[in-house]
Structure 1
Amino acid sequence: MRTKLSRVPKLFAKKRDPSEQRLVDFLEKKFNYRPIDLDLFIDALTHKSFSNTREECESNERLEYLGDTVIDLIVAHYLYDRFPNEDEGYLTKVKAKIVNRKMLAYIGGELELESYMRYRKGRSIKVATLEGNAMEALIGAMYLDSDYDTTRAVFEKYVIKKFINFKEVLSQEMDFKSLLLIWGQKNKFNISFEIIDEATKENDFIYTARVIINNKEWGMGKGTAKKEAEQNASNETMTLLGLH
């Protein structure tokens, strides 16, 4: 782990190689941000498939973890200010549409993060996932390299206002099952659905679904279609988890 001393600019720092200068140019062009400790941003763009084959090379996993939390707070802060008359439930649903793997992967793709990343190309690596994780790691690196206010200003101006179409986001319907799966993905929980009672004449053709989280049974729901039963089971599970 890097110490604070390693983040102090050196008066006689060595000349950057072309790849380092290219990264600096990228940060300045896309975020109007000039890094103090470039190593943080190099780490942010280093996948474990690369770092595992090198000594004294850090992957972006820890920065990804930090960036995930920072982005969550920035977006929550932004929505709190933008929608002063909306309640907690509304803000949570809108945030879930913005802070998710699909959106972060889209933003990372638009920024062409793959071309700045260090990773071993292979069939087992999904580029979209790689770029989404790197996006989180970059924000984590920026937070450590500066502070919350600076990172928030950059993210709002160069990410939210540039890549988030609120008219489109607000028009999207967010169902209980999607919200639950997004929550599970964010917290690395394995969520599955089980139909425990098929629709038959004996039960008035009603399906019963159950939510399973990390092999533990949670909410149940009924419906005339499997999707409806899963929606109702998700709704009950979110209530039990205190997510409403």
Structure 2
Amino acid sequence: MRFIKKIFAKSSRSQEDGIFFSDMEKILGFKPLTIGFYEKAFTHRSLNKVDDQGNPINYERLEFLGDAMLSSVIAAYLFNEAPMGNEGYLTKMRSKIVSREHLNELGRDLDLIRFIESKVPTAHFGENIHGNVFEALVGAIYLDQGYIACEKFIQTRVITPYVDISRLEGKVISYKSLLIEWCQKEKKTFHYDVFEDNAITGERLFGVKLSIDHKVVAKARASSKKKAEEKASQRAYFAFQQRIDTKTL
């Protein structure tokens, strides 16, 4: 009886591996050479896996590598497609394409979260998990296939469907950065007064009062200091929109 159970378990595992391989092939557009790279790209550190040398097995190092590959390929693309752009322009445009918001969108569109192996329920992951595993996938492609195949994947999955230079020129990634840049340019003082605000629902929230030239111009509340500051900055931006030159973005 135990022998039969072992055979069944082995067959089930083999079937899962075959499905994973097939799904990867559809996403990648080619057959993986070493499926282990892709399995690692979706392994969460909560599993505490290690190799024979005691090195951790999870997607975090691949995420680092994928981030570098994306930056490299996007930089080369912008260099060729925007010959009039100076270093500052190219840097800002690259930041917009590889922003955390955009990478999360890419990961969600491919539904990569369904492949993650973790002891933590996926419902408990933050929003950035989508972009993290997308970067890890890019890192796995580079290790498995090399630079040219990685560049082709980024061109197919990122640049062709999502990158429109003229549209990106007007896209604001961080209202806080934009507002600070404008204040510094105009020699205006600014201050973010952050405080905990739990009075209404009991939920831990943070309130922000944004002052420019010692006058409160916007208020906001959110679940983190960073989000509250960004929301207040966005409201201040719209209040001063006619006076802020968005063409410098």
Note the aligned Cα RMSD (angstroms): 3.3
Question: How big is each residue's C-alpha offset from its partner over 1:50-105, in whole Å with a ceiling of 9 and x where there is no partner?
Answer: 2x1x4547111111111111111111111111111211111111111111211111
Partner of 2:46: 49
Cα shift at 1:107: 0.5
| Kept after mapping to 1: 8 A contact 2:99/2:173 | no
Summarize the alignment of residues 153-164 of structure 1 with structure 2, pairs less than 5 Å apart: 153-164=152-163
Provide the aligned length of Structure 1 versus Structure 2: 180
Partner of 1:85: 84
Partner of 2:138: 139
Question: If the length of structure 2 is used for normalisation, what is the TM-score?
Answer: 0.62
Partner of 2:224: none
Q: Structure 1 vs Structure 2: percent identity of aligned residues?
A: 29
Q: Report the 3-state secondary structure (helix = DSSP H, G, I; strand = E; otherwise coil) of the residue aligned with 2:127.
A: helix
CA distance change for structure 1 residues 122 and 143 in 2, over 3 Å: closer, same or farther? same
Higher Rg of the two aligned structures: 2
| Kept after mapping to 2: 8 A contact 1:207/1:226 | no
Q: Report the 3-state secondary structure (helix = DSSP H, G, I; strand = E; otherwise coil) of the residue aligned with 2:128.
A: helix
Structure 2: any 5+ residue segments left out of the alignment?
A: 1-10, 181-187, 193-211, 219-228, 234-249
Greater Cα offset, 96-105 or 163-172: 163-172
1:110 aligns with 2:115: no
Take 2:16 and 2:163, find their aligned partners in 1: how far apart are those partners?
30
Partner of 1:62: 61
CA distance change for structure 1 residues 226 and 37 in 2, over 3 Å: closer, same or farther? farther
Partner of 2:208: none
Q: Report the 3-state secondary structure (helix = DSSP H, G, I; strand = E; otherwise coil) of the residue aligned with 2:172.
A: coil
CA distance change for structure 1 residues 127 and 34 in 2, over 3 Å: closer, same or farther? farther
Take 2:191 and 2:83, find their aligned partners in 1: how far apart are those partners?
37
Cα shift at 1:159: 2.3
CA distance change for structure 1 residues 61 and 85 in 2, over 3 Å: closer, same or farther? same
Supply the AA of the counterpart residue of 2:136: A
Take 1:114 and 1:87, find their aligned partners in 2: how far apart are those partners?
37
CA distance change for structure 1 residues 126 and 164 in 2, over 3 Å: closer, same or farther? farther
1:151 aligns with 2:155: no
CA distance change for structure 1 residues 207 and 89 in 2, over 3 Å: closer, same or farther? closer
Cα shift at 1:207: 3.8
CA distance change for structure 1 residues 34 and 226 in 2, over 3 Å: closer, same or farther? farther
Partner of 2:32: 35
Supply the AA of the counterpart residue of 1:159: V
Cα shift at 1:167: 4.6
Partner of 1:74: 73
| Kept after mapping to 2: 8 A contact 1:60/1:137 | yes
CA distance change for structure 1 residues 75 and 180 in 2, over 3 Å: closer, same or farther? farther
Supply the AA of the counterpart residue of 2:167: E
